[in-house]
Structure 1
């Protein structure tokens, strides 16, 4: 287990960031403190930052730790330091504008982690062309069925992921895969930003419809849980402007402080569930394998 950081002032990329209440227990079952989470984010920052940079963020904050009151923050607070960039996004249907925070460097990352941010949620497009996504994310979640173990509910997710991979490879795409850190998987594909969200969503809907018709025993596009029952839900509606994804290496608010971790397709074949990687073992893994999702955000990686 990594050592936690202590309260006090630290300097990162020339900026001073004050850390507070670092001994506060954030994950009671795992014995993980706020200081542990901050230390994890500092150590993982070289890999995580490319997946956050220039993307509007939503913050999932747990100031008193997991299990206590939490909230999503979409608007930057007035007290945020002036060096922490923000970007305004208009939501015409909701008749509002949100001023999302941006994370450029380790100082911004750690400042927000100190505010109790457990999970960062990033847009699928960047601020220089917000209406054209550069990431296609396929979210594969297990069915909600009482009586199934975590491992049993994960098996249809893995099977679905491999079927989606076959379809994407046939279309000339090279999908990557990662655990969500909760119950499912994310498949990711890099896009050239020639298509709008609507165009990408239409193509994704066609793909999901084709697959669910071929394997109605495994997959469903039914929104209502009682209609899809034991089947994996394929949701194309999440591919929309303003939608976000928990990027690789972000912490999830689970009992074990799990991590959304990239894996190889070979590893996925024997992966038991989505919470295998945690704050306690994630750094050792990435030291060994590096960033398996780097090609999605770094040309030529």
Structure 2
């Protein structure tokens, strides 16, 4: 078993030598995938992945003991990071600040893999303006009794609602049973306003298919429905990026798809071993994501309409957040499903 391996990684600033310790360490015991294979995988998808996370502050989800094992989120640049690993300062909801990794070249992906990073969780902002998201994200989270096929059906309705708001979404598997839909937006609104746009969008989907979709924050209120997790739009809440390996025994990958592919696949179709070939054969379905940035004015109008005509305003924030302006009480007592009534984190 090799003590280390060296990768010569080409990038915009030339070739970097990245040293990988214990490259033959097995990270996925059921399938035998090693740290070396994780690094090789990220090199194989580096081009589309850097389109997805490049120039974004990114949290590293690290599994130092492999899978299964207890991961942790590295929200600060790890000590000893090479000088060529870009950093960007972000502000957390508490008001504290930190410097996060800002991936800018393939060598960063290999270096992160060497730290036991499996998935990358980018903020929905660019380094030049970390307070105004340029990506609206919708997380469709199947609840017990539902599955990926249910999420795909709800995503189809979500697509219709997005179109009515003048928006185009790009779907991907979450790497689990869920689906993420991304919309490029102009960075003109802060996190609070973008989250309200997601709330309005999710409420409209729930109205159309109330037996299949829910915005109820308390888990007992959700039933066997797909939860549209609006709080993934809150500051410092992130989802695994496109092309990220997920920390499950199959080493599945969060994979971009076209809308026509979405209902035809299974999440387990995409893993560390299969995705490089799939990418080579199909290309990147999210290649055009950056071609146009949209406004969210229609969604904010819907939010204002719901507040004015239906008495629906803010929804609870995650429990670790400070009290936010206009937020209802964080209590489930007396709540009604679909109302602003819950504060439990679903992630």
Question: Normalising to structure 2: TM-score of the pair?
Answer: 0.79
Partner Cα distance (2:147, 2:242) in 1 = 22
- Residue 137 of structure 1 aligns to a residue whose secondary structure is strand
SS, match of residue 59 in structure 2: strand
Q: 1:71 — aligned with what?
A: 72
DSSP 3-state at the match of 1:87: strand
Q: Name 1:21's counterpart in structure 2.
A: 22
What SS class does the counterpart of residue 269 from structure 2 fall into?
A: coil
Instruction: Name segments (4+ residues, structure 1) moved above 6 Å.
Output: none
Q: Name the CA distance, whole Å, in 2 between partners of 1:245 and 1:289.
A: 24
Unaligned runs of 5+ in 1: 146-151
Query: Distance in 1 between the 2:247 and 2:101 partners?
Result: 21
| Mapped contact 2:136–2:198 kept (Cα < 8 A) | no
Distance in structure 1 (CA, Å) of the matches to 2:174 and 2:254: 5
Q: How far apart, in 1, do the equivalents of 2:32 and 2:210 lie?
A: 43
Cα deviation for residue 30 of structure 1 reads: 1.3
Which structure has more relative contact order (CA 8 Å, sep 6+)? It is 1
* Residue pair 2:89, 2:98 contacting (<8 A) in 1 also: yes
Match of 1:260 in 2: 254
Q: 1:211 aligns with which of 205, 212, 222?
A: 205
Q: Find the counterpart in structure 2 of residue 132 from structure 1.
A: 132
1:291 aligns with 2:284: yes
Aligned pair 1:12/2:12, yes or no? no
**How far 1:204 moved relative to its partner?**
2.0
Counterpart in 2 of 1:198? Answer: 192
Match of 1:31 in 2: 32
Q: 2:115 maps to what in 1?
A: 115
Does the 8 Å CA contact 1:179/1:275 hold for their aligned counterparts? Answer: no
Listed one character per residue, the Cα deviations across residues 191-224 of structure 1 (whole Å, up to 9, x for unaligned) are: 1222222222222212222221332211111111
Q: Aligned equivalents of 1:6 and 1:41: distance in 2?
A: 21
In structure 2, the CA distance between the partners of 1:51 and 1:221, relative to structure 1 (3 Å rule), is same
TM-score by length of 1: 0.90
Provide the C-alpha distance between the structure 1 equivalents of 2:267 and 2:197, rounded to a whole number of angstroms. 27
C-alpha change, 1:202 and 1:70, in structure 2 (3 Å) is closer
Q: Is contact 1:124-1:243 (8 Å) kept?
A: no
Q: State the 1:230 CA deviation.
A: 0.5
Greater C-alpha radius of gyration: 2
Where does structure 2 lack aligned partners over 5 or more consecutive residues? 294-347
The size of the alignment, in residue pairs, is 288
Structure 1's 198 and 265: CA in aligned 2 closer, same or farther, altered over 3 A?
Answer: same
